Structure 1
Amino acid sequence: MKIAFIGLGNMGGPMAANLVKNGFEVAGFDVAEPAKEAARAAGINVCDTVAEAARGADVVMTMLPNDALVRGVIAEARPEVAEGTTFIDSSTIAVDAAREIGAELTDAGFRFIDAPVSGGIFGAQEGTLAFMVAGDEATFSEHRSLFEAMGRSITYCGELGNGQAVKACNNMILAIQQVALSEAMVMSERLGVDPQVFFDVVSNATGSSWSLTKNCPVTGPVPTSPANNDFKPGFATALMLKDLRLAMQAAESTKTATVLGRIVADQYEKLAADGHGGEDFSVIINEVRGA
């Protein structure tokens, strides 16, 4: 199976590399030279254009910042592939956009799978991503081995767009948890509790979460968390804000009262505006400390 992988950045690069490790033939493209260099080192055949990468591919996979880029890449790739070729998008885009793209491809004789991920850069590197896959179930089953090469959890979510729907909901929960944890840790510090003690108790109690056990926002308890590396991002604030905006868009379209979601979205808007868009989203704890 020949894979064209478009978007070889912090997420796409390691994902494509894991496909190579698992025996897939991968041709890739990215606009950034550092991404191209890393991809070449990982055994990916890096091409000069989207069209060149897509030429003759069985699957065209995209991992891009927004739906406009996804649409543009698909438009460039379509003339280079045969009818029936499968397009897989692992970008995080709006539910409606995923459904529109899928409908356009299906009408043109192609196949489309909506497959956003959770797990951040570390998950992409380790091949432990969680995939939320939606679209035609038979097409998903046919390509399951691709997802298994890149992830640990692969869940079929139903009709096209449902992958994006679940991703928006998941990341709204994650943002709320990260802020709640930050508030609790700052309060415990000011009450004289050692952060390690807080971690030891809460990580084994009802307040435990991924935000604490993997992404702990203070130095010490979780040595691999971004807080121990100047908040170098596993998942950047700018990306969390993007996902929260998509969640709020979905809340508005479904007339859902997401009170906590809106509060947290506003907090991340401020965090990004204050210049922290390139840092891990757990840096929100510093805003809490300054409140």
Structure 2
Amino acid sequence: MADTPIIGFIGLGVMGSGMCANVVRKHGGPVHAFDMSAEALDIQAQGGAIAAASVTDVAKAAAVIFLSLPGGKQVASVCAEIAAHAAPGTTVVDLSTTSVAEARQVAAMLAEKGMHFADAPVARTRQAAIDGTLSIMVGAPDALFDRLKPLIGYMGSDVTHCGDVGCGQVVKLINNTLLFEQVAAIAEMMVVAERAGVTRTKLIEAVSLGSGDSFALRNHATKAMAPNIFPEKAFPSPYVLKDIGYTIELAESMGVAPNLPRLTATYYQAAINAGIGQEYFPAIIKLIGTGEDHEAASARGNDRP
């Protein structure tokens, strides 16, 4: 890999736009960007990216290609096109969240063409993507990680090498599932406290000083659940179910019964069934507040992501 490789960036959505802008701003060489949204692509071009007409154009131009896509199916499709048109030695870095099996399958497909792959899913918020302060969990061979770390560092303040290919996704899925479980637990207990005479804000204040403190309490409970603010252009319940589904698949493949992830999924499926699935996912507290049993509500739809 050249010291200043030509970079490609495919996928300029909620997270990808901020990440790409950081790469364009900090990288010393050209950055070829592509998205199906002409508006999103134009914004990056205004910032200095080279607007590509297709995935194929990026594949032909870049030595290192970053992906920020909705899920495993999209990653596999894009990587198949890259494999068909990129030069041997090209490296693909997937910043998306996919299943572990999908990451390893894509890596094997690219390896057959003499190309390299790293999974590097990201954590934290859209603002962190804009600020370049994401937490990025990387699965890659040691030597490849060492070469990629400076480039990945354009987008993240914390870059962790989790192991070989697929291990970035392992850590990301576990991180997300723990968060979704914690939000569900907080939602239940927040409604209990409120009905027993303790306000949501007072509960957060007191518990944050004790052993029940957590990132979810100080962030999701404080910023969304206490004030009842659940914007629709944030992380919705279908995304939660996708990630929990990947975790269930991973746990089962490792011989572990994913009982808590399955139970947690029923809250988010119930939110979809109740018509609030597009709201920011802590909106599940609305269901608990109605007193409706979430498992019964979930059973009216598909209770497995």
The residue number in structure 1 matching 2:265 is 265
Q: Per-residue deviation at 1:79?
A: 4.3
1:255 positional shift: 2.4
Aligned-pair distance for 1:286?
Answer: 0.9
In structure 1, the residue matched to 2:290 is 290
Matches within 5 A, 1:119-134: 119-134=124-139
Separation (CA, whole Å) in 2 of partners of 1:218 and 1:188: 13
Determine if the alignment matches structure 1 residue 9 to structure 2 residue 2. no
CA drift of 1:80 comes to 3.9
Corresponding residue to 2:225 among 213, 218, 230? 218
Taking the TM superposition and a 5 Å limit, the aligned residue runs for 1:243-258 are 243-258=243-258
TM-score (norm: length of structure 1): 0.91
Unaligned runs of 5+ in 2: 292-305
Structure 1 distance, partners of 2:45, 2:37, is: 13
Divergent runs of 4+, >4 A: none
Greater mean alpha carbon deviation, residues 11-20 or residues 193-202 = 193-202
Out of 174, 197, 200, which is 1:195 matched to?
200
Task: Verify: 1:23 aligned to 2:27, yes or no.
Answer: yes
Distance apart, 1:233 and its partner CA: 4.3
State how far apart, in whole Å, the 1-side matches of 2:83 and 2:109 are. Answer: 11
Alpha-carbon contact 2:252-2:258 (below 8 Å) kept: no
Percent identity reads 35
After superposition, give the CA deviation of every residue in 1:213-255 in whole Å (9 maximum; x if it has no partner). Answer: 12223345xxxxxx44x43444222211110111111122222
Task: Please tell me whether residue 110 in structure 1 is matched to residue 115 in structure 2.
Answer: yes
Which segment is superposed worse, 172-181 or 270-279?
270-279
The residue aligned with 1:162 is: 167
Q: Which runs of 5+ in 1 are unaligned?
A: 221-226
Letter in 2 for 1:218: M
How far, CA to CA, are the matches of 1:233 and 1:255 in structure 2? 36
Is the 8 Å Cα contact of residues 231 and 282 (structure 1) preserved in structure 2?
no
- For 1:63-212, list aligned pairs within 5 A: 63-212=68-217
Amino acid in the other structure paired with 2:225: V
Amino acid in the other structure paired with 2:26: N
Give RMSD over aligned pairs.
1.7
- TM-score normalised by structure 2 residue count: 0.87
